[in-house]
Structure 1
Amino acid sequence: MMEIKPIGYVKNDAEKDVDFDELISRVEVLPDYVDGLYRIEECDELEIIFYFHKSNSYKLRVHPHHDPTQPEVGVFSSRSPNRPNFLGLTRVKLLRRDGNVLFVKGLDAFNGTPVIDIKPVTRRDQRK
């Protein structure tokens, strides 16, 4: 059996769709995981893995951006939150760290979203 526990939670003003590209969010890391943030402020960008806690079902074919005028694609060819495991991944800009709180820009997650993992974006992740 697989068990995944949140390492923190997203705090922001997003209760429904907003311009996530410009949204500043806080990722509040739980006390047990704060030491894992050591030297994270040396990173410019991070990848945040989170759980779509507002999703409760999925389809294997979806219309991109929930727009029925667009042709269907497979869910794995989309950014739909309605996925078999309800996991999301977003690359964000790290603005600053204050103790257990990361201030990030561009996180497309709603207030209260559980954060599963945080990874640095490295040169290896950059596309040419």
Structure 2
Amino acid sequence: MNGYALYPVGFVRSPITRPVPPDDFRGIRSTIEILPEFEEALEGLEGEKHILVLFRFHLSEGFSMKVHPRGDLNRPLRGVFSTCSPDRPNQIGASLVRLSKVKGATLTVEDLDAVDGTPVIDIKPFRGIDRRSKELGTSPGERDS
């Protein structure tokens, strides 16, 4: 298996400082502080309503091939790729968030399920949330695991 390197483009600042269930992040306002060398890459983002934030589960201590969804031992084990568990082979997380404000190198977002200090590895605009939801037969924010 070949390796690769990912470098943070910024860090999450959140009132949540330890891992909690994903639903506990609803309504939470966080900021993403972009590193100075990447600030120019934010140009044009201010017009977006939603962004996809890719980050590293830096507090995860390894991975399991199978997990109980949401850590609930009453739920049957499932393959980690069929869940949103942080215990993943590459420890990469993704969160679709509402972008409230862009000011300088700071993004203000809502519903980012990442704790304070989480390294952000990429940000992408997310367009067509209604179109994609209809196409996929799901509603925005619908999660199975």
SS of structure 2 residue aligned to 1:97: strand
Is there any run of 5+ residues in structure 2 with no aligned partner, and where?
Answer: 135-145
> Greater shift after overlay, 115-124 or 65-74?
115-124
Q: CA deviation at 1:126?
A: 2.5
Alignment partner of 1:57 is 2:62: yes
SS of structure 1 residue aligned to 2:39: helix
Distance in 2 between residues matched to 1:46 and 1:80, nearest whole Å = 21
2:36 maps to 31
Distance in 2 between residues matched to 1:118 and 1:30, nearest whole Å = 13
Alignment partner of 1:127 is 2:121: no
1:13 maps to 15
Distance in 2 between residues matched to 1:95 and 1:126, nearest whole Å = 22
SS of structure 2 residue aligned to 1:107: coil
1:66 maps to 71
Q: CA deviation at 1:2?
A: 1.5
Q: How many residues are aligned here?
A: 128
SS of structure 2 residue aligned to 1:127: helix
1:84 maps to 89
1:75 maps to 80
Q: CA deviation at 1:7?
A: 0.1
Q: CA deviation at 1:127?
A: 2.3
Q: CA deviation at 1:87?
A: 0.3
* CA root-mean-square deviation: 1.3
Structure number having the greater helix percentage: 2
Is there any run of 5+ residues in structure 1 with no aligned partner, and where?
Answer: none
- Which residue of 106, 110, 124 corresponds with 2:111? 106
Q: CA deviation at 1:123?
A: 2.1
Percent identity for Structure 1 against Structure 2: 38
Distance in 1 between residues matched to 2:90 and 2:133, nearest whole Å = 27
Runs ≥4 in structure 1, deviation > 4 angstroms? none
Distance in 1 between residues matched to 2:37 and 2:92, nearest whole Å = 22
* TM-score (normalised: structure 1): 0.95
Distance in 1 between residues matched to 2:82 and 2:115, nearest whole Å = 22
